[in-house]
Amino acid sequence: MEISNDSGTKKPKRLTSVVWNHFERIRKADICYAVCVHCNKRLSGSSNSGTTHLRNHLMRCLKRSNFDVSQLLTVKRRKKDNTVSLANISFDEGQRKEEYIKPALAKFEQEHKKDEIINFVSSKFDQERSQHDLARMIILHGYPMTLVEEVGFKVFVKNLQPLFEFLPNSGVEISCIEIYRREKVKVYEVINKLCGRINLSIEMWSSTENASYLCLSAHYIDEKWTLQKKILNFLTLDSSYTEDLLPEVIIKCLDEWDIDCKLFALTLDDCSVDDDITLRIKERVSEKRPFLSTRQILDVRSAAHVIISIVQDAMDALHEVIQKIRESIRYIKSSQEVQAKFNEISQRAGINSQKALFLDNPLHWNSTYIMLETALEYRSAFSLFQEHNPTYSSTLSDEEWEWANSVTGYLKLLVEIMNIFSADRFPTANIFFPEICDIHIQLIDWSRSSNNFLSLMALKMKSKFDKYWSKCSLALALAAVLDPRFKMKLVEYYYSLIYGSTALERIKEVSDGIKELFNAYSICSTMVDQGSALPGSSLPSTSCGARDRLKGFDRFLHETSQSQSMTSDLDKYLEEPIFPRNSDFNILNWWKVHMPRYPILSMMARDVLGTPMSTLAPELAFSTGGRVLDSSRSSLNPDTREALVCTQAWLRNQSGGMFLLD
């Protein structure tokens, strides 16, 4: 503030820069001074001197005085309410140089995280906390640990906070492992408090160095009827690994997380995995669950992977035709002159397509489908183009165009279905049955084609699909029956189209399967009422021989009481009219609301609907390359690699994807 004014009539100039919060302005005679409130150093305070020298002194003074962040940003003459929100301030580069703002609460808005709030509990610098936050940042965003050694990163951090002390990679690694252990305890507690069962998905990953990894994830519907996924383990498989070791690896992980007695379904991404492998896992788990047979531990294979597999069969069969179309498009796009000539021929041929020819990405099969679909619209132009360009040698015969047309029709259905599967990151199991049945029906039809090329291709595709269908049809149908919009009616409709005269036998298999599973849940529910078991589990193990001898009595009691009691949950559910279909139907909300009406069936629905019918991430739905670990992670030691991959998934799932510094 200004102490005196010699003229008496001239109004003192208002001091607007925030730098004056750290200086007293004093006038003596004709000289104006700025006195630092921290060190009492006197500098020029004339309005003609500006504030740059004051800012420079302030930075040196503060560094020398070792003030913490709260002292650095304290306003000497603040108003009663001086809390400033960075989210509400817009300033240009000049203002950034002159203003110091106290961030009591800073809100950072991004396009995809507008509600992300980082709360500075204390403005005093904390080396340990900053190191912890750096480790979380590296985990969350997948940054390489070598980031902390990059010169640009060090300069940025030092300018932001000169007091921060950098640690070597090993120190950051230790911090990451500590975060992993803390988060693992949280996940363990959540999973072991679940009332329902757990579905386990098993995915194979690879790296550019041809290493192999095994990713195990738990899928379940929580008490709020929200579908959840938690990565449990990310294991590095050494070069001596063989497929017959898979059961022991998985069982060890189940024991580690103490969820073997809660297992409901196993989902693998590969249909070619030996059945003995899954049988060994189920037999081991069934030892702790005498009321559930190995049949009732569902063996599921990923629907998305079987689609990609049969797509590859179609691509292989049409390989030469696809190559000719690629070469044709390359030739047409080789120069503007050739492109203009092709466009002229297209117009003369009466082609008014709004789509432009383009080359596909062979690693994304949906782009190959779009390339074929677009090329087919210019079919007549390609034929005419050959007549005017003798050097064009990649023309297709009429038969090859027909093959391309038919295969593109096959791919169109598969693209549409894959879009449905990948529309939701965590889809419930009920959406898969009608889509898979449509593929089944089409494969039957395609394999009956009079064209030998198409029928052989379709039979090869159908052979893979049939293997998948034999394993998964019951699980798919169970989920569809538990959709109140379909119940058994959808099974009856599709099975009549698929099986024809033998449909009734197949429908009965589904009906018997769902009754058998419901009876197992009813027995468990009876034991819960008696206080001898938890929901979704079998009888607890005990060394008491008398108690073991009464297991048969529990089953007898359930069976005899059922015949004397009123209609079961399942019968009541199936006999009632189906729920009207609408676009915004949410099956989990429906079961949440109807839980009191179907107490036992809702327990079963929770586990069935939470079964992962596909293990492929939506962003990889059309990729032919599979899950590949990035080089920065693959170069780490196995324990650190597992810690980073698992913790990254856990942190991203916290608070609906928000990353809060706690």
Is 253 a domain residue?
A: yes
Full domain range(s) for residue 41: 19-64
Q: pLDDT at position 533, please?
A: 44
Confirm if 469 and 485 have CB atoms less than 8 A apart. Answer: no
Helix (H, G, I), strand (E, B) or coil at 229: strand
Sign of CA dihedral 323, 328, 332, 334: positive
Asked whether residue 130 falls in the same domain as residue 47, the answer is: no
Per mean pLDDT, which range of 116-120, 542-546, 609-613 is the poorest? 542-546
Res 374 pLDDT > 90: yes
Nearest 10 degrees: CA dihedral of 342, 345, 346, 348? 160
Asked whether residue 140 falls in the same domain as residue 277, the answer is: yes
Cβ neighbours of residue 536 under 8 Å, at least 6 residues apart? 194, 195, 196, 197, 262, 264, 521, 524, 603, 607
Q: pLDDT at position 26, please?
A: 84
Q: pLDDT at position 27, please?
A: 81
Is 415 a domain residue?
A: no
Is 439 a domain residue?
A: yes
**Predicted TM-score (pTM) of this structure:** 0.75
Q: pLDDT at position 186, please?
A: 95
Q: pLDDT at position 320, please?
A: 95
Is 69 a domain residue?
A: no
Please tell me the distance from the alpha carbon of residue 604 to that of residue 602, in angstroms, as a whole number: 5
pLDDT digits (tens, 9 = 90+) for 124-169: 888 889 999 999 999 999 999 889 889 999 999 999 888 998 888 8
Asked whether residue 634 falls in the same domain as residue 601, the answer is: no
**What is the separation, in whole angstroms, between the first and last Cα of the chain?**
41
Confidence category of residue 170, pLDDT binned at 50, 70, 90: confident
H or E segment to which residue 138 belongs: helix 127-141
602-624: b (≥16 Cβ within 10 Å) or e: bbbbbbbbbbbbbbbebebbbbe
Percent of the chain with pLDDT over 90: 49
Q: 40 or 350, which is more confident?
A: 350
| β-strands 198-207, 212-221 pairing | antiparallel
Q: 80 or 123, which is more confident?
A: 123
Confidence category of residue 288, pLDDT binned at 50, 70, 90: low
Is 10 a domain residue?
A: no
Res 339 pLDDT > 60: yes
Per mean pLDDT, which range of 52-61, 249-258, 327-336, 549-558 is the poorest? 549-558
Asked whether residue 130 falls in the same domain as residue 221, the answer is: yes
Asked whether residue 522 falls in the same domain as residue 458, the answer is: yes
Asked whether residue 221 falls in the same domain as residue 288, the answer is: yes
Cβ neighbours of residue 353 under 8 Å, at least 6 residues apart? 346, 374, 377, 378
Asked whether residue 49 falls in the same domain as residue 132, the answer is: no
Asked whether residue 31 falls in the same domain as residue 135, the answer is: no
In the listed set 64, 89, 117, which residue is the last one of a domain according to the structure? Answer: 64
Asked whether residue 58 falls in the same domain as residue 180, the answer is: no
Is 370 a domain residue?
A: no
Please tell me the distance from the alpha carbon of residue 257 to that of residue 191, in angstroms, as a whole number: 8
Please tell me the distance from the alpha carbon of residue 194 to that of residue 537, in angstroms, as a whole number: 11
Domain count, the chain: 3
Q: Which two tokens stand for residue 536?
A: 């979704």
Q: Indicate the burial class of 356 (C-beta count within 10 angstroms; 0-12, 13-18, 19 or more).
A: exposed
Is 541 a domain residue?
A: no
pLDDT digits (tens, 9 = 90+) for 176-223: 999 999 999 999 999 999 988 999 999 989 888 888 899 999 999 999
Write down the mean pLDDT value for the chain. 81
Q: pLDDT at position 283, please?
A: 81
Asked whether residue 137 falls in the same domain as residue 54, the answer is: no
* Chain mean position to CA 273: 24
Q: pLDDT at position 522, please?
A: 86
pLDDT digits (tens, 9 = 90+) for 621-639: 998 888 888 888 888 999 9
Please tell me the distance from the alpha carbon of residue 162 to that of residue 572, in angstroms, as a whole number: 70
Asked whether residue 599 falls in the same domain as residue 494, the answer is: yes
Average pLDDT over residues 498-507: 96
Please tell me the distance from the alpha carbon of residue 460 to that of residue 148, in angstroms, as a whole number: 52
Helix (H, G, I), strand (E, B) or coil at 11: coil
Q: pLDDT at position 576, please?
A: 93
Q: Which two tokens stand for residue 234?
A: 């990310």
Q: pLDDT at position 36, please?
A: 86
Q: pLDDT at position 478, please?
A: 96
Helix (H, G, I), strand (E, B) or coil at 348: helix
Q: Which residues are registered as beta bridge partners of 107?
A: 117
Q: Which of 410, 436, 411 is nearest to 498 (CA)?
A: 436
Per mean pLDDT, which range of 2-11, 136-145, 228-237 is the poorest? 2-11
Is 551 a domain residue?
A: no
pLDDT digits (tens, 9 = 90+) for 422-457: 988 889 999 999 999 999 999 999 999 999 999 999
Residue 635 — left, alpha, or beta (φ > 0 → left; ψ -120 to 50 → alpha)? alpha
Asked whether residue 595 falls in the same domain as residue 493, the answer is: yes
